Structure 1
Amino acid sequence: MVDVFLRWREPAVRLLSRAVPGDVLWFVETAEPVFGLTFDDGPHPQTTPGLLAVLRRHRAKATFFLVGERIKANPHVVEQIVAEGHEVANHLMRDERSVLVPDEQFERELAETSRLLAAYGPVRWFRPGSGFYKPRMLRAAAGQNLRAVLGTVVAANTGGPGDAAIAGGLATSVRKGSIVVLHEGTEKRRGVVATTDELLTALAGRGLTAVTVSELVAG
């Protein structure tokens, strides 16, 4: 059994995206054989370089939603992400549930993380910690020219036996225009490297290629 694994089928995501208020990107309607690949909670001195090696081998691209305090601790890793043609995005200052952060603090730390990322390139996207949000958070982000990105399928490696089933479970649900959310950033999640390798291999067999969120939206 996968320890943390949320899987939505595309019709359910479309319905949910209409029912939940706010300008949030869950998936993209496209005829192109591509999907958005994203990683939360980095950078990390071990997991991120491992992911970059896998992406390089598969000629895949991804968007890394980075945590501000980890950006400060690992600037050379952020440089490597960008140098290899991937995209960086805002995941606030700490790995925590953003919806519980007081509004003024949320707005301040969202801006602080964007300032840290601006040294590496443009910042278009943010993802609230744990994926939960309030309308006021979206308004604050829009005021900083950021759009929220969630996803179609979400999984987190935990270091437990369930990690081995993650890629297979995800691969059955990913479609053209899906946005996949995986998690790195800690030693416990080091299995995300193998999960990503297995997932990209399976999806390549179906003719699907991983791209950044911006590439997915650009079509």
Structure 2
Amino acid sequence: MASTPTALADVVSRWREPATRAVSRLIPGGVLWYVETADPVFALTFDDGPDPATTPRLLEVLARHRARATFFLLGERVEAYPRLVAAITAAGHEIANHLMRDERSALIPDARFRLDLARTTELLAPYGPVRWFRPGSGVFTPRMLRTAAEQNLRAVLGTLVAANKGGPADERIAKSLLPGVRPGSILVLHEGGPQRQGVADTTDELLTALPPLRAVTVSDLVARSRT
């Protein structure tokens, strides 16, 4: 019997996460892609906030599910929406560095990358400790990792990535991700701007379907590492 498109999609989803783990072992540099753990937890992360169109409702969803997350925030939006940053940390979530703007970090000149990384940490520091950074578009270079290490930051990517874009495909994001989430996964979602308001519904759907797996911060996940 021929496989249906849905069945094929489920197979792809189930193998996407372990495939990313396998590939990441071949890439040097100490980038965090996942964590080996026996605990029933995964890290939930959000890029590109804070934003009044998405962050408040996301916080409501996370609170309802008693979930924790790491928010990789843009420096220019931290400056624009300080109350939202305060709300994120007040709710028990972790903040991390996503540089100043929503752009490809690998294309930024070395000097500006260094300054933008430091400036974003400086903006975040009043709200809590900053241990992690995520390069824009998920692309990094050795010099970026060296600069981050000099600033006591470690790069975090992820094993599963999705972005709400405001179209019909948004309704299928959670279903496509669910088969691949397992203990130690790092899940990357995107907020920021009216076109991404659906991220709250995506998150709600994921957290409703995932128990007994529980969403935690990146730091909590690392603390549960078996290695």
| Residue number in structure 2 paired with 1:49 | 56
| Residue number in structure 2 paired with 1:63 | 70
Greater C-alpha Rg: 2
Matched, 1:138 2:145: yes
Whether the 8 Å contact between 2:190 and 2:199 is mirrored in structure 1 is: yes
Structure 2: unaligned runs, 5 residues or longer? 6-11
SS at match of 2:22: helix
Matched, 1:218 2:223: yes
User: 1:139-178 alignment to 2 at 5 Å?
Assistant: 139-178=146-185
Whether the 8 Å contact between 2:44 and 2:187 is mirrored in structure 1 is: yes
User: 1:1-219 alignment to 2 at 5 Å?
Assistant: 9-204=16-211, 207-219=212-224
SS at match of 1:171: helix
SS at match of 1:24: coil
Identity value in percent: 68
* Cα distance in structure 2, aligned partners of 1:61 and 1:11: 23
* Cα distance in structure 2, aligned partners of 1:23 and 1:100: 21
User: Residue 21 of structure 1: CA displacement?
Assistant: 2.1
User: Residue 16 of structure 1: CA displacement?
Assistant: 1.3
* Cα distance in structure 1, aligned partners of 2:134 and 2:159: 13
User: Residue 141 of structure 1: CA displacement?
Assistant: 0.1
Whether the 8 Å contact between 1:21 and 1:135 is mirrored in structure 2 is: no
* Cα distance in structure 2, aligned partners of 1:172 and 1:104: 41
* Cα distance in structure 2, aligned partners of 1:214 and 1:17: 19
User: Residue 174 of structure 1: CA displacement?
Assistant: 0.4
Aligned length: 213
Q: Deviations over 1:151-183 (max 9, x none)?
A: 010000000000000001111100000000000
* Cα distance in structure 2, aligned partners of 1:14 and 1:84: 31
* Cα distance in structure 2, aligned partners of 1:170 and 1:14: 15
* Cα distance in structure 2, aligned partners of 1:123 and 1:64: 11
User: Residue 13 of structure 1: CA displacement?
Assistant: 2.1
Whether the 8 Å contact between 2:72 and 2:95 is mirrored in structure 1 is: yes
Structure 1: unaligned runs, 5 residues or longer? none
Could you tell me which amino acid in structure 1 is paired with residue 77 of structure 2?
A: R
Could you tell me which amino acid in structure 1 is paired with residue 112 of structure 2?
A: Q
User: Residue 212 of structure 1: CA displacement?
Assistant: 0.2
User: Residue 45 of structure 1: CA displacement?
Assistant: 1.0
> How much is the aligned-residue C-alpha RMSD, in angstroms?
1.3
SS at match of 2:137: helix
TM-score calculated relative to the size of structure 2 = 0.91
Q: Deviations over 1:74-132 (max 9, x none)?
A: 00000000000000000000001110100110011000000000010110000000000
Where is the strand percentage greater, Structure 1 or Structure 2? Answer: 1
SS at match of 1:52: helix
* Cα distance in structure 2, aligned partners of 1:44 and 1:154: 20
Whether the 8 Å contact between 2:98 and 2:135 is mirrored in structure 1 is: yes
Whether the 8 Å contact between 2:33 and 2:186 is mirrored in structure 1 is: yes
Q: Deviations over 1:125-155 (max 9, x none)?
A: 0000000010000000000000000001000
Whether the 8 Å contact between 2:48 and 2:72 is mirrored in structure 1 is: yes
